[in-house]
Amino acid sequence: MSKAINKIIVYENQNFSGLSAEFSSDVPDLRSSHFNDCISSLKVIGQPWVLFEHGNFHGNLYEFEEGEYPTIPMNDGATSMKLITDDLEDPKITIYSEDNYGGKSIVCTKEQNLIYGSFNDVASSHMVQKGAWILYEHSPDTKEGKRLLARAGEKIPQYIHVGFSDMASYVRPLLPGRPIVTYKVLWDQMTKGHETASMIDQVIGVNHSDREQSFSTEHMKEYEGSVSYELKCSNTTTVRAGTQFDVKFVSVELSLETSFTFEKGKTESTTTRESVSINLPAVIPPHTKLYVNVMRKTSKMTVPVQLTIERGGKKKTECATLVCDKGNVIYTEFKSEKL
């Protein structure tokens, strides 16, 4: 299994041009890497990074989650960088209106605009139970105002010591990087549903003569068969919308094979189509009406799939289900009547 990589690639100029450097751990002073006050664009792979105005992670800061940033707010202004290694699943922070965790409190488990409630510009201390958070003087959409990084296990009893007392107007958790998802299809645990057969075409030939007659000018007809595949995650899945990974399902025994890029919430299924040729009878016996019924056999199979989700250096295993609707078995049935 591939190991998730957390790194940041920084560039001297905008649009990922000029000199570049790559880092995979905290950088307390970019001067030691000859990249101080010159970052103008960057790419983040994996967990978020926070860039600071001064060395040793001091001064104003900006957060960058996984993605590409052709321009950044603190152009030519970063002196240190911190990799966020916290477990960012199920974030939780408690913010207090008074110093030393006193007064009123509010518990946040997701992004919140404090302006819309009664906690705007009153926060004086906090405790982070889970995840990593950014508290904003204004909002994430503006580069103006101060920002405060809050991480699990870190307690700040008095915001006055960090110059953030009665300033918080917005709070949001940092999002983890895209996961690496691998899978194992448990074919030996497959369950098969009922098979059904339905007529998709009928060809009729009539011979009133005393001799055999040709049934049709066509000796073969083609029909389309298909197999649909759907990968269903559980209701409690940690695979978020937009998560992508390539899948390939192959079973020689069941004559199944497909591959596609799964994207949660968008592309969770695929259908393969194939041409199936059916041979028609060459002749019709004398005084006979011959029916050729073209039949399609359909069946449903469900197969457990074990998903392994690796994010932020941690792995989780969960169950999914592969559902196959097989409709590529096409055959003929014959029926004759004497005239």
142-185 per-position pLDDT tens digit: 888 999 999 998 889 999 999 999 999 999 999 988 888 999 99
Segment 53-68, tens digit of pLDDT: 999 999 999 999 999 9
Residue 306 to residue 27: CA distance in whole angstroms: 38
Asked whether residue 3 carries a pLDDT value surpassing 70, the answer given is no
Asked whether residue 2 carries a pLDDT value surpassing 80, the answer given is no
DSSP state of 268: -
Beta strands in 92-179 (DSSP E): 92-98, 102-108, 112-113, 125-130, 132-136, 147-151, 155-156, 170-173
Cβ-based neighbour number of residue 268 at 10 Å: 15
Residue 178 to residue 65: CA distance in whole angstroms: 10
Segment 28-54, tens digit of pLDDT: 999 999 999 999 999 999 999 999 999
Q: What element of type H or E holds 277?
A: strand 269-279
Convert 192-247 into a string of H (helix), E (strand) and C (coil).
Answer: ECCCEEEEEEEEEEEECCCCCEECCCCCEEEEEEEEEEEEEECCCCCCCCCCEEEE
**For position 198, what pLDDT does the model report?**
95
Task: For the chain, give every domain's residue range.
Answer: 7-83, 92-173, 180-338
Q: Where does the pLDDT of residue 259 fall: very low under 50, low under 70, confident under 90, or very high at 90 and above?
A: very high
Q: Where does the pLDDT of residue 1 fall: very low under 50, low under 70, confident under 90, or very high at 90 and above?
A: very low
Q: Where does the pLDDT of residue 4 fall: very low under 50, low under 70, confident under 90, or very high at 90 and above?
A: low
**For position 65, what pLDDT does the model report?**
96
Domain 7-83 has CATH 2.60.20.10: yes
Instruction: Say if residues 297 and 197 touch (Cβ distance below 8 Å).
Output: yes
Instruction: Say if residues 107 and 94 touch (Cβ distance below 8 Å).
Output: yes
Residue 128 to residue 119: CA distance in whole angstroms: 17
Segment 103-130, tens digit of pLDDT: 999 999 999 999 999 999 999 999 999 9
Q: What is the mean pLDDT of residues 179-196?
A: 93
Same fold, 7-83 and 92-173: yes
**Nearest to 126, CA basis, from 163, 89, 152, 88:** 152
Q: Which residue has the higher pLDDT, 214 or 298?
A: 298
Topology given in CATH for the domain delimited by 92-173: Gamma-B Crystallin; domain 1 (2.60.20)
Assigned architecture for domain 180-338: Beta Complex (2.170)
**For position 89, what pLDDT does the model report?**
86
- Angle subtended at Cα 166 by Cα 164 and Cα 172, rounded to the nearest 5 degrees: 70
